[in-house]
Amino acid sequence: MLRTDTPNRASAGADAAPRRPPLYTPQERVRRDATVWTLVQGVLAPLQFLVFAVSVFLVLRYLVTGEGLGLATASVVLKTGLLYTIMVTGCIWEKVVFGRYLFAPAFFWEDVFSMLVLALHTAYLMAWWSGALDPRQQMLLALAAYASYAINASQFLLKLRAARLDQARADAMAAAALADRPHASVPAHEPAAGRLAA
């Protein structure tokens, strides 16, 4: 057991990253790149973040000065509407790429945390519509929802970075295999390619 472990430590720098399964299989990557829903998500995500940033300013201004309640409320409602939209289109995207609407293994924890984000935004809408909370409490609830959204957005950004690293690694391995092909037999490279695609 120790003998098999020692070589792995010696090559930890080379082997640590490939041990993590790629975010997308080659087939999923093809489906991701082919579907229009990828573009839809790419448009909605920065739009939602822009509305979020403006809304945070308006909410904080109201909490500090007591002014602009109408604008702050409208901004949170708009932000929540965009959240619902990106959740629905995101479910469709996930179905096209991974074969299920929610909780695909590649984005399982992001989807789980998205449920909390959705719940807090929905709680705000209910409090606003019913008047169950006063305006200041509503704005504080909106900030709690926004904090959860910021965490969730960070999760997805980290996954986006991981996907780019996966692609760069795959490209590097393919280039290395192509460069080494004249000096090595073809079967020597086939197992590595198979592991990459798994």
Q: Domain coordinates of the chain in residue numbers?
A: 22-149
Residue 181 banded pLDDT, cuts 50, 70, 90: low
Residue 72 banded pLDDT, cuts 50, 70, 90: very high
What are the tokens at 39? 């573009």
Give the span between the Cα atoms of 35 and 43, in whole angstroms. Answer: 14
Name the CA radius of gyration of the chain, rounded: 23
Which of 22-26, 36-40, 104-108 is the least confident region? 22-26
Predicted confidence (pLDDT) at residue 124 exceeds the cutoff of 50: yes
Give the span between the Cα atoms of 155 and 150, in whole angstroms. Answer: 9
Would the pTM count as exceeding 0.85?
no
Q: Are 117 and 141 in contact (CB under 8 A)?
A: no
Residue 89 banded pLDDT, cuts 50, 70, 90: very high
Name the 3-class secondary structure at 127.
Answer: helix
| Percent helix, percent strand, percent coil in the chain, to nearest 5 | 85, 0, 15
Which DSSP letter does residue 11 get?
A: T
Which DSSP letter does residue 188 get?
A: G
Give the span between the Cα atoms of 15 and 145, in whole angstroms. Answer: 39
Which of 84-88, 136-140, 149-153, 191-195 is the least confident region? 191-195
Give the span between the Cα atoms of 133 and 120, in whole angstroms. Answer: 14
Q: What percent of the chain has pLDDT over 70?
A: 73
